[in-house]
Amino acid sequence: MAYTDSLFEKHSRFASRFLSSRRDVIVWLPPGYEAGGRYPVLYLQDGQNLFDPATAFGGRDWQAHRTAECLIRSGAIEPLILVGVGHTGVRRISEYTPTRDPARRKGGKGDRYARMLARELKPFIDSSYRTLRGPAGTAVGGSSLGALVSLQAGLLYPRVFGKMALLSPSLWWHGRCILDLVRASRSSRRPRVWLDAGTAEGPDVLADLRLLRDALVEKQWDLRYCEAEGAGHNEAAWGARFGAVLKFLFPPNENAVSSPPAPPRRRFGQHAESSSRPR
């Protein structure tokens, strides 16, 4: 897919003050976007795996746009914008983890990555598209290490991200250090969170997942917990659950859609390969 479809816009080599690598950002706009109104946004990590089998790991993408479009057209979810944030290859592990693991000699840039999402990418998307800008209309998510850094982003920026999609999070990183960050959080906000893993991922994964579940229940977060029977740790499994994630995080008629004037388009130093779709 060359992302020439009118529903897609590609922002190549998005730059950050907080991270050394540039990354591609793919934006999917819902059907009816051109009619006006503002839309919630879901920021998803590992953007290469979401929309296109040619770029997805193992040649199997989530078909996230097809799932979202089907649910929107059927009225099962509210219309939303999907933002796929591409990983940067060899730097993926470092950017997606909360601490440096001495044994692996890498990691620990998750806070910088979260800052990029909250302070650079979100303002860029808000200025370029008609979005609902508050935390109730802003979600962050991903799978595996992408889910791990999404949880860290939600913890660090609770006033930005009010919803999280955590599919098979890599809780094992550096002695389950993310659990300490969850327990140490003092935010009074209670985000809506989808948390899952597949039973075929193994007993250790499920044991870690239940520890996180218990920590979030203690925090009184709005939690939907799922152990997917027979599901493994792969793109096909995550894509199969994506519809259920959307139904929980974005139920229909949750956000009143207003139609204020579109914001002026701001390039933020990026090249956008896109249609002339109205903002």
For residue 138, being part of any structural domain is answered with yes
**Amino acid letter for position 28:** W
For residue 61, being part of any structural domain is answered with yes
Q: What's residue 3's pLDDT? A: 53
Q: What's residue 170's pLDDT? A: 98
Range(s) of the domain holding residue 72: 8-255
Q: What's residue 147's pLDDT? A: 98
Phi, psi of 113 (to 5 degrees): -65, -45
For residue 264, being part of any structural domain is answered with no
First and final CA of the chain: distance in angstroms? 23
Of 93, 84, 91, which Cα lies nearest the Cα of 12? 84
The answer to whether 43 and 140 have CB atoms below 8 angstroms apart is yes
- DSSP assignment of 184-204 equals H-------EEEEEEEGGG-HH
For residue 250, being part of any structural domain is answered with yes
For residue 263, being part of any structural domain is answered with no
CATH number of the domain within which 145 lies: 3.40.50.1820
Q: What's residue 255's pLDDT? A: 74
Q: Collect the ranges in the chain with pLDDT lower than 70.
A: 1-6, 256-279
Number of domains in the chain: 1
Q: Quick check: helix, strand or coil at residue 211?
A: helix
Phi, psi of 225 (to 5 degrees): -110, 135
For residue 234, being part of any structural domain is answered with yes
Q: What's residue 228's pLDDT? A: 98
Q: What's residue 84's pLDDT? A: 98
Q: What is the dihedral of CA 79, 117, 83, 56, to 10 degrees?
A: -140
For residue 70, being part of any structural domain is answered with yes
For residue 251, being part of any structural domain is answered with yes
Question: Residues 105-118, buried b or exposed e (16+ Cβ, 10 A)?
Answer: eebebbbbbbbbbb
